[in-house]
């Protein structure tokens, strides 16, 4: 079996301007932040980001990396709304597609199944349809029920973070929720998994259901200890609430200068020094 180990820089080198990139995790939980920071440290621009958003969206928006955002929400969980995204959204600086969370899931599922759309009731009678006039409805051929035809969310690349992975691309989460990371990988042409630790295939822990990703769904594996920081990656570590509050209250220039100028190693060392 092929060894798919990479570095964050290797992953970013396979991305290009204008790509549609899906970012796994949920809000401020198990986000592939080391890979996001690698994008921040690169010249990549004009990206379409597809995410159940958290600080991944806030950081990339503040750095001017995003042209278009497709999202179900952008939240830091214990901080209701990412402040960087909020300012940029209110300024009208991004092209936006805001979806119901169920519609978002169905869009990933449609792409994973190689379908042009999936029918769903979510969105009917809501402002989602008014704010996204490109959305269409279809009639069921069985009972004539009107349904939203949620278009597939095709991704050029997906970035997700797992607790454990082997070098071949099998990957495992050990926390309470998969956060649809498998759907992001199935919807994408290229799939990259960062993880807390690369293990031998025989060393995976827990039930087989925790093996969310198999090697057929993954093109690259990156070992990034503490790589989801400051989001949670339970049971390895909880969300860093104090640092998240610092992030939410800081101005962008001072935060970036202090924590985002020395690559991933510089980031981790800066956080340790701050702590």
Specify the CATH number for the domain of residue 76. Answer: 3.40.1080.10
**Residue 189 phi/psi, 5° resolution?**
-75, -40
Indicate whether 205 pLDDT > 90.
Answer: no
- Measured CA distances, 156 to 18, 111, 135, 192 (Å): 10, 11, 21, 11
Q: What is the pLDDT of residue 43?
A: 97
Q: What is the pLDDT of residue 11?
A: 98
pTM: 0.96
275 domain-assigned: no
Per-residue pLDDT band at 96 (split at 50, 70, 90): very high
163 domain-assigned: yes
271 domain-assigned: no
261 domain-assigned: no
Per residue in 259-274, pLDDT tens? Answer: 999 999 999 999 999 9
Q: What is the pLDDT of residue 1?
A: 77
Domain count, the chain: 1
Per-residue pLDDT band at 254 (split at 50, 70, 90): very high
CB 138 within 8 A of CB 106: no
133 domain-assigned: no
Per-residue pLDDT band at 116 (split at 50, 70, 90): very high
Per residue in 146-191, pLDDT tens? Answer: 999 999 999 999 999 999 999 999 999 999 999 999 999 999 999 9
212 domain-assigned: yes
The CA distance from 191 to 145, in Å, is 36
| Residue ranges making up the domain that contains 18 | 5-116+152-238
As a whole number, the mean pLDDT across the chain is 96
Indicate whether 9 pLDDT > 90.
Answer: yes
Indicate whether 97 pLDDT > 90.
Answer: yes
The CA distance from 172 to 86, in Å, is 33
Q: Which two tokens stand for residue 117?
A: 């759309």
234 domain-assigned: yes
Per-residue pLDDT band at 4 (split at 50, 70, 90): very high
Per-residue pLDDT band at 206 (split at 50, 70, 90): confident
Indicate whether 209 pLDDT > 90.
Answer: no
């Amino acid at each position: 079996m092929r060894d798919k180990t990479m570095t964050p820089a290797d992953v970013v080198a396979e991305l290009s301007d204008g790509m549609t990139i899906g970012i796994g995790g949920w809000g401020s939980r198990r986000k592939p932040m080391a890979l996001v920071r690698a994008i921040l440290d690169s010249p990549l621009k004009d990206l379409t980001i597809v995410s159940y958003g958290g600080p991944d969206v806030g950081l990339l928006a503040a750095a001017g990396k995003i042209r278009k955002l497709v999202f179900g929400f952008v939240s830091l969980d214990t901080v209701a709304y990412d402040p960087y995204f909020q300012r940029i959204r209110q300024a009208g600086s991004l092209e936006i597609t805001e979806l119901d969370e169920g519609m978002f899931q169905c869009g990933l599922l449609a792409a994973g199944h190689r379908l042009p759309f999936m029918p769903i009731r979510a969105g009917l009678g809501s402002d989602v349809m008014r704010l996204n006039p490109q959305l269409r409805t279809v009639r069921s051929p069985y009972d004539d029920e009107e349904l939203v035809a949620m278009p597939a969310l095709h991704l050029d690349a997906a970035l997700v973070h797992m607790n454990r992975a082997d070098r071949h691309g099998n990957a495992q989460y050990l926390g309470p929720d998969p956060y649809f990371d498998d759907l992001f990988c199935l919807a994408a042409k290229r799939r990259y998994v960062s993880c807390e630790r690369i293990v031998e295939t025989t060393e995976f822990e827990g039930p087989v259901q925790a093996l969310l990703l198999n090697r057929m769904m993954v093109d690259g594996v990156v070992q990034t200890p503490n790589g989801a920081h400051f989001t949670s990656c339970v049971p390895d570590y909880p969300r860093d609430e104090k640092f998240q509050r610092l992030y939410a209250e800081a101005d962008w220039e001072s935060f970036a200068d202090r924590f985002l100028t020395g690559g991933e190693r510089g980031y981790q060392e800066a956080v340790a020094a701050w702590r």
